[in-house]
């Protein structure tokens, strides 16, 4: 009888212990699932590992033939704006670090490492092992670029003719704060475009460069396509269609529109910001509501159309043309796009946070894009709320043809490989 | 059989009790302004949520969080002025900088501003005092709208 009473009293305790053990087992199971492929979901035959972790806000990166990884960190704590990791056996060790500035852009071309902060582009001479010879004395190639609180990162790309391309983002959503009377957006002369500079001439200002293409709200992912010798850029589309024009756009339209656009640029092209936006559901370039648009009126045809379009607010932060031999044939010369993930879809669930593959043929997008790597955000709840654990940003191709992806939230570097 | 039944009942009781307890606690903190909070939640969903998010946590580098910051929990006049005049400066909160502009919302009625700010000051883990329509009215009367 006594024993029975004790047992009765203890039962809830047992139950709680049981629950704890049960939950522990459950989360252990989940960890086991999550650690496979570093938590990513990939097409058959592909696998992923995290080769680095907790680097800070890891933006763009390059990988050298000697397996050194240069990764640019957004903020330079202790003069460590650029980290150099050495990879061996799918693990990395910190080899060295330099640069007293944070930033996004980083690239290697013809024996130099190029890196940008929000106002300048520097370059560093490399030795024959692609190591920076003098990390404390870079050449300042471009200086004095505008950086005004919004869309500051100066992402960069280089062509094969000694030119450097720099994004100068618009410091505005749709220019209405600078163009209240709709006389023409006044900030387009020095922002919202891609500028071209010489890659070897020091101390270039705006006047030394060319406004290569304009009407681009903000570009973070850009790359030179070697197949047709052309610059491709990913534009971050405007925000808040419903918030600003509730009579013209539903909450759902505002979440899906405008498209995030891929443009193939030629010198002198105008992509039309802030006057136009692209509707991927209607497949049309439309007049922006600030300038008389209503969600149906077409844009002036003088503005170029995108070559491919993606759902709204996905935030493309990295673009890479795959030229390796490791992945299956269909990936060759196609584009990978790192989507940082949305914030301007609320109250609808946030989306993006993935790496997309865009098939190409003869230097042009060919066929529908597909999600290549997903799962960066974490649980469906973390993704929907926008509280993503990891956010894809930079892309690079390794010497063996593996794909590297940075995450600028937790500072993880993923390496994605294919095995037949 | 009996033992199990008793145990189950006890457990259920424990769960219910703690649930009830939490519920009561919540209600006491919010006493007096429940109606204002309920109305404020609707204003928040329509005007603020798209940028500051459903959990008030904002968006990294862009839209500041509405939790654990004196901008929200501190001086009422300053907070009311942000709603009336918008915000066009970088704001640093807990070492992070946020730089998106906030548009003025002076088109909201005094009661709506009081409601939404009361909601914000008492949600997302915040526990600051309510803001009344009279307080908003006073600040609006003395407010000089910033040059465009």
Question: For chain A, how many structural domains are there in total?
Answer: 2
Predicted confidence band at A28 (pLDDT cuts at 50, 70, 90)?
Answer: very low
A390 is written with which tokens? 């990891």
Write the pLDDT tens digit of every residue in A371-388: 999 999 999 999 999 999
Task: Show the 3-state SS of A54-108.
Answer: CCCCEEEEEECCCCEEEEEECCCHHHCCEEEEEEECCEEEEEEEECCCCCCCEEE
**Together in a domain, A86 and A31:** no
Q: How far apart are CA A305 and CA A270, in angstroms?
A: 9
ipTM for this prediction: 0.76
Q: How far apart are CA A141 and CA A117, in angstroms?
A: 12
**Together in a domain, A87 and A226:** yes
Q: Residue B126 CB: number of other CB atoms within 10 A? A: 16
**Together in a domain, A231 and A250:** yes
A260 is written with which tokens? 């995030």
* Chain A residues with CB-CB distance to B6 below 8 A: 8, 11
**Together in a domain, A299 and A318:** yes
The mean-pLDDT minimum among A20-24, A392-396, B1-5 falls in A20-24
Q: How far apart are CA B35 and CA A376, in angstroms?
A: 40
Helix (H, G, I), strand (E, B) or coil at A361: strand
Contact at CB, B100 and A7, closer than 8 angstroms:
no
**Together in a domain, A56 and A101:** yes
**Together in a domain, A279 and A148:** yes
The two beta strands, A139-142 and A260-265, are: unpaired
Q: Which region, left, alpha or beta, applies to residue A241 given φ > 0 means left and ψ of -120 to 50 means alpha?
A: alpha
Query: Which CATH number does the domain housing residue A390 bear?
Result: 2.120.10.30
φ, ψ of residue A16 to 5 degrees: the values are -65, -45
**Together in a domain, A78 and A201:** yes
Between residues A223 and B143, the one the model is more confident about: A223
Residue B25 has pLDDT above 70, yes or no: no
Q: How far apart are CA A322 and CA A338, in angstroms?
A: 13
State the nearest Cα–Cα gap between A28 and chain B, in angstroms. 26
* Chain B residues with CB-CB distance to A12 below 8 A: 7, 10-11, 14
DSSP 8-state assignment for residue A204? B
**Together in a domain, A33 and A51:** no
Chain A CB within 8 Å of residue B9 CB: no
**Together in a domain, A403 and A257:** yes
Contact at CB, A385 and B53, closer than 8 angstroms:
yes
A103 is written with which tokens? 């930033």
Contact at CB, B7 and A11, closer than 8 angstroms:
yes
A340 is written with which tokens? 């940082």
* Chain B residues with CB-CB distance to A15 below 8 A: 7, 11
**Together in a domain, A282 and A361:** yes
Predicted confidence band at B148 (pLDDT cuts at 50, 70, 90)?
Answer: low
Sorted by sequence, the CB contacts under 8 Å of residue A170 that are 6+ apart come out as A150, A151, A187, A191, A192, A216, A217, A218, A273, A274
Sorted by sequence, the CB contacts under 8 Å of residue B19 that are 6+ apart come out as none
Q: How far apart are CA A386 and CA A377, in angstroms?
A: 8
Selecting from A15, A150, A347 the residue whose C-beta is nearest the C-beta of B49 gives A347
Report the pLDDT value the prediction gives residue B60, as an integer from 0 to 100: 87
The mean-pLDDT minimum among A201-210, A372-381, B15-24 falls in B15-24
Selecting from A7, A14, A385 the residue whose C-beta is nearest the C-beta of B54 gives A385
**Together in a domain, A3 and A58:** no
**Together in a domain, A70 and A5:** no
Report the pLDDT value the prediction gives residue B144, as an integer from 0 to 100: 83
Range of the domain at A382: 41-418
Q: Residue A94 CB: number of other CB atoms within 10 A? A: 12
């Amino acid at each position: 009888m006594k024993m029975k009473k004790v047992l009765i009293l203890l039962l809830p305790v047992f139950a709680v212990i049981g629950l704890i053990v049960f939950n522990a087992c459950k989360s252990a199971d989940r960890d086991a699932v999550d650690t496979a492929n570093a938590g990513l979901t990939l097409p058959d035959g592909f696998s992923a590992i995290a080769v680095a972790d907790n680097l800070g806000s890891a933006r763009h990166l390059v990988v050298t033939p000697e397996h050194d990884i240069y990764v640019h960190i957004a903020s330079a704590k202790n003069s460590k704006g650029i980290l150099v990791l050495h990879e061996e056996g799918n693990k990395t060790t910190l080899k060295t670090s330099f640069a007293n500035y944070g930033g996004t852009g980083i690239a290697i071309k013809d024996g130099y490492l190029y890196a940008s902060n929000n106002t300048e582009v520097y370059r560093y001479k490399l030795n024959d092992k692609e190591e920076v010879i003098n990390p404390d004395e870079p050449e300042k190639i471009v200086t004095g670029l505008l950086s005004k609180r919004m869309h500051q990162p100066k992402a960069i790309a280089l062509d094969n003719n000694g030119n450097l391309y720099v994004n100068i983002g618009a410091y505005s959503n749709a220019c209405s704060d600078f163009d209240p009377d709709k006389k023409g957006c006044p900030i387009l002369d020095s922002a919202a475009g891609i500028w071209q500079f010489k890659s070897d001439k020091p101390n270039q200002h705006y006047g030394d460069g060319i406004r290569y293409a304009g009407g681009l709200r903000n570009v973070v992912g850009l790359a030179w396509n070697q197949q047709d010798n052309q610059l491709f850029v990913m534009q971050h589309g405007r925000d808040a269609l419903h918030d600003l024009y509730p009579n013209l756009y539903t909450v759902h339209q505002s979440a899906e529109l405008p498209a995030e656009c891929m443009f193939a640029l030629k010198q002198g092209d105008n992509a039309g910001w802030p006057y136009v936006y692209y509707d991927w559901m209607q497949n049309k370039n439309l007049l922006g509501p600030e300038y008389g648009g209503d969600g149906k009126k077409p844009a002036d045809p003088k503005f170029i159309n995108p070559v491919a379009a993606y759902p709204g607010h996905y935030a493309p932060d990295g673009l890479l043309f795959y030229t390796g031999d490791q992945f299956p044939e269909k990936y060759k010369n196609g584009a990978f796009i790192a989507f940082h993930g949305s914030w301007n879809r609320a109250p609808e669930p946030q989306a993006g946070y993935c790496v997309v593959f865009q098939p190409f043929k003869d230097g042009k997008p060919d066929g529908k894009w597909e999600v290549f790597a997903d799962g960066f955000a974490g649980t469906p709840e973390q993704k929907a709320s926008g509280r993503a654990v990891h956010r894809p940003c930079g892309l690079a191709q390794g010497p063996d043809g593996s794909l590297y992806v940075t995450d600028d939230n937790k500072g993880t570097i993923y390496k994605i490989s294919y095995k037949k | 059989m009996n033992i199990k039944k008793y145990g189950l009942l006890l457990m259920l009781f424990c769960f219910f009790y703690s649930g009830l307890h939490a519920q009561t606690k919540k209600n006491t903190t919010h006493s007096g302004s429940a109606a204002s909070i309920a109305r404020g939640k609707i204003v928040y969903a329509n005007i603020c949520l798209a940028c500051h998010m459903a959990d008030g946590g904002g968006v990294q580098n862009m839209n500041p969080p509405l939790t654990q910051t004196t901008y929200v929990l501190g001086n009422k006049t300053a907070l009311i002025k942000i709603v009336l005049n918008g915000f066009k400066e970088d704001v640093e909160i807990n070492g992070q900088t946020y730089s998106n502009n906030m548009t003025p919302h002076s088109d909201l009625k005094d009661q709506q501003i009081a409601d939404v700010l009361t909601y914000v000051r008492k949600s997302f883990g915040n526990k600051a005092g309510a803001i009344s329509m009279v307080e908003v009215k006073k600040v609006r009367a003395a407010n000089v709208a910033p040059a465009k």
